[in-house]
Amino acid sequence: DGGITQSPKYLFRKEGQNVTLSCEQNLNHDAMYWYRQDPGQGLRLIYYSQIVNDFQKGDIAEGYSVSREKKESFPLTVTSAQKNPTAFYLCASSIGGQTGRLHFGNGTRLTVT
Amino acid sequence: GESVGLHLPTLSVQEGDNSIINCAYSNSASDYFIWYKQESGKGPQFIIDIRSNMDKRQGQRVTVLLNKTVKHLSLQIAATQPGDSAVYFCAAWAPQKLVFGQGTRLTINP
């Protein structure tokens, strides 16, 4: 079955450490996205990529970095510069363009202490 | 830019009743809207979508209504079941990105 795989489901890190969240899709989608979700909140866009080797900042990109070296992969690094990194992180993909349905993974819950 | 808001953070309904979840958006240029359902600990799942050239679209037990005049859309769930318990998000396309509202938590009373 086609889909989006995020790993791991739970991740624990000490403050000051960088951590990379994995996102892989086998839907052959061009566009990929990272969202952050805090308790009781909606989804806020961190970064997105419309094609390989290109990505743009979303609304809350500070303290995060991404790469898009392969079509199927869009890893997110949460750096030590991110002031409040504890959150639920969701990766999504879509066929591309400026409209279209996003398909989501099941998220990674990151806890930083 | 675009902002999307939901009118109620929580909604409680009796099993078997119809549920109506409301959403407002700000950008009159938005032309594609999506409703998602999110169960605890999971990613959002697509429910139904609607483009701005329509004012109503029906799926299985769900209907989305779009009122472009007042920039409002609603999700109606018929004969609500326990499995409908979740957080529901509306989302609207702004240029290059999908903007989400804050979600309504739907609780079903037996």
A42–B34 CB contact, under 8 Å:
no
The answer to whether A22 touches A75, Cβ cutoff 8 Å, is yes
From B63's Cα to the closest Cα of chain A, the distance in A is: 17
Q: Which tokens go with A78?
A: 């949460």
Mean pLDDT of chain A: 93
Condensed to tens digits (0 to 9), the pLDDT of residues A50-90 reads 999 999 999 999 999 999 999 999 999 999 999 999 999 99
pLDDT tens-digit profile of B6-31? 768 899 999 999 999 999 999 888 88
- Residues from B contacting A (CB-CB < 8 Å) are 4, 9, 31-32, 34, 36, 41-46, 49, 89, 91, 93, 95-103
Q: What is the pLDDT of residue B86?
A: 97
Give the number of other CB atoms < 10 A from CB of residue B97: 20
Question: Which pLDDT does position A76 carry in this prediction?
Answer: 98
Per-residue confidence at A99, pLDDT binned at 50, 70, 90? low
Please list every residue in chain A whose beta carbon sits closer than 8 Å to the beta carbon of residue B95: 98
Output the pLDDT for position A1.
61
Summarised one tens digit per residue, pLDDT across range B46-92 is: 999 999 999 999 999 999 999 999 999 999 999 999 999 999 999 99
